[in-house]
Amino acid sequence: MNLIQKFNRAELSVTPRRNQVRVRPWFALSPALVALLLALVLQPLQAYAQNAPKIAVVDVQRAVLQTESVKKKLEQFKKKPEFKENFKELESLEKEYKKLLDRYEKDRAVMSDEKREGEKRKILEKQQDMKYVASKLQQVRDEFLERILQERAADTQKVLEGLVREQAIGLLLNARAPAVMHADASYDLSDQVTERLNAIK
């Protein structure tokens, strides 16, 4: 038996003049008594943990855009002339930009200063054209998404209220808000919202 085992088994003795009192250290309590004490301490903590309000996050935009009905609308939207024309124009501009850039990279060593400056100007102009068309596409897309989110706002609100009630959620955060630095997938309700929105006819 080593010193630690002897120490653990030892009983502390205090011997006054008349009476001898034996005090067993806390670590010498019987396993059954230790288990009982732990149960008494942990039971209220477990009950609190089970009943404590939960925190969750939701990406409403993602939840709505994942629904089957919105996916169909998005496909129809992409076929609209205003979107198709801008998209084709952007693709064409990207090809032209790539050609200009490749030619500049290949020939700039043998270009005169004047030619080099001219090619740079063309590249910058093409970049500006691409940005302009891309911003038009983005604007059209954003307007479409805003309209879709407004159409599904009432259903989404009902679904969220139901989930908050059923899962005893005390704090629901917008996953896109700057305040949310990190959220584990187990906190994310977005897929559950999508599933319930799909069930609404």
Give the C-alpha separation, 82 to 64, whole Å.
Answer: 24
Question: Are 95 and 140 in the same domain?
Answer: yes
**Residue 153 structural domain:** 54-199
Distance of alpha carbon 26 from its chain centroid, rounded?
47
Question: Are 37 and 115 in the same domain?
Answer: no
- What pLDDT, on a 0 to 100 scale, did the predictor assign at position 93? 93
pLDDT in tens, 23-59: 455 445 565 655 565 666 556 555 545 556 688 888 9
Question: Are 186 and 172 in the same domain?
Answer: yes
Question: Are 43 and 13 in the same domain?
Answer: yes
Question: Are 157 and 174 in the same domain?
Answer: yes
pLDDT in tens, 154-199: 999 999 899 988 988 888 888 887 676 566 677 788 899 899 999 9
Q: How many domains does the chain have?
A: 2
Question: Are 44 and 65 in the same domain?
Answer: no
CA distances to 32, 171, 188 from 9, rounded to whole Å, are 17, 50, 51
pLDDT in tens, 78-103: 898 888 898 999 999 999 999 999 99
Question: Are 82 and 137 in the same domain?
Answer: yes
Please report how many Cα atoms fall inside a 13 Å half-sphere around the Cα of residue 2, on the Cβ side.
1
Question: Are 62 and 118 in the same domain?
Answer: yes
Question: Are 78 and 29 in the same domain?
Answer: no
> Would the pTM of this model clear 0.85, i.e. be above it?
no
CA nearest to 158, candidates 198, 193, 191, 187: 193
- What pLDDT, on a 0 to 100 scale, did the predictor assign at position 10? 46
Question: Are 95 and 126 in the same domain?
Answer: yes
Residue 135 banded pLDDT, cuts 50, 70, 90? very high
